[in-house]
Amino acid sequence: MISITVNGKVHRLDVEPEMPLLWVIRDELGLTGTKFGCGISMCGACTVHVNGEAVRSCGMVVGDVAGKSVTTIEGLSPDSKHPVQQAWLAEGVPQYGYCQCGQIMAAAAFLKEHPKPSDADIDANLTNICRCGTYVRIRSAIHRAAALMKT
Amino acid sequence: MRLVEGQGRTRLAGALAAGQDAYKFRRALLEHRPDFLGVLDKIAEKSDWGKPLGQGRGRGIAIFECYDTIIGQVAEVTVSKKGEVRVDRVVASVDCGHVVNPGIVEAQIQSGVIYGLSAALYGEITIKDGRVEQSNFDSYQVVTLADTPKIEVYLALSGGKKWGGIGEPGTASTALAIANEVFAATGTRVRSLPLKNVKLVGPA
Ligand code: FES
Ligand code: FES
């Protein structure tokens, strides 16, 4: 039995410790906001927070998360009003949307480290792929979220 | 992928070889089409066409029509000493006749440019021993935030009965503008894509 906390709730799971965290989140816990994109830690569609830090859950095994606290897109904010979510809505960022939960989770963790980011900070730190090409609006939404967080 | 830019490519190459301005040459060719001219003049104005850029930098211009939409782009590029291409800014203008939601039109052009940029810079599927060699993002590079230029979108609507498409035009015109700007910056004509395979010499 492995015990992990996801979105504030403790789960005791009967799974192999080598099972990727992404599988646990989607298939064992049924939280399907987190997406499978590449499976090799390249795209970021599977980004979640572990103890507040952004990680790519396809490349992490559940055994390494035992006793830690995981946050998925479903748990980012109780009312979907996290500043990053508000900014995403205001800027109309998503297109097909497949990458977007990962983008939002990556941006939320990034803003904790860089409360007033420059375009260069954003470009250097956020490497999630968006095949629809929403990057221009991701940039403006991150600036908007940073401003919202200050107020 | 072969690059063909609408009609008059041979004349175009000849005109440029003779040192004619790429914008003015297109203007002369399109004199009978006020809708094309609206788009062309818009991108020339907004991109400061004709204002010199620094060394190793250049502007490329392209205009064409697809899905009943006319799209023009000016792209600004920097070619490094090592010959690497970076697109800094794209100025695009569209005539899709009418617009219902301007925000979506803008988003489609922004993202179309980015998708086209992936194709122009990196996109390549190769076959070896009967199998495709690329299988995932570790072997098939795509544009990320770090490659994303500033993209400006301007409408130049001609109205009338036309309702043009807006999904594909941004993608299809990007490679043309970039290839032309690489020529402007380096003097090298790009005849095949992706650009990662084209040997370029940057400024000394
Ligand atoms: S699915 Fe995890 S990084 Fe792509
Ligand atoms: S919105 Fe489609 S992949 Fe990002």
What is the tens place of the pLDDT at every residue in A2-57? Answer: 999 999 999 999 999 999 999 999 999 999 999 999 999 999 999 999 999 999 99
Q: Which of B107, B137, B138 sits opposite A137 (nearest CB)?
A: B107
CATH number at residue A140: 1.10.150.120
Q: What is the mean pLDDT of residues A120-136?
A: 97
- In eight-state DSSP terms, residue B148 is P
Closest alpha carbon to B202 in B90, B58, B88, B89: B58
Q: What is the pLDDT, as a whole number, of residue A90?
A: 97
How many angstroms separate the CA atoms of B65 and B70, rounded?
4
Q: Which atom of ligand 2 is nearest to the CA of A93?
A: 1
Residues within a 6 A CB radius of ligand 2: A 94-100, 130-132, 134
Verify that A93 and A113 share a domain, yes or no: yes
| More confident call, B37 vs B181 | B37
A90 and A138 belong to one structural domain: yes
Q: Do A57 and A92 share a domain, yes or no?
A: no
Cβ–Cβ gap A131/B142 under 8 Å: yes
Annotated catalytic residue B168: yes
Q: What's the pLDDT tens digit per position in A111-124?
A: 999 999 999 999 99
Average pLDDT, chain B: 90
CA-based nearest distance A12→chain B, Å: 34
Structural tokens at position B171: 């993608």
- Per CATH, which fold does B7-197 belong to? Aldehyde Oxidoreductase; domain 4 (3.30.365)
Range of the domain at A37: 2-76
Q: Please count the other Cβ atoms lying within 10 Å of the Cβ belonging to residue A27.
A: 13
What does the pLDDT look like over B37-63, one tens digit per residue? Answer: 999 999 999 999 999 888 888 899 999
Q: Does B153 touch chain A (CB under 8 A)?
A: no
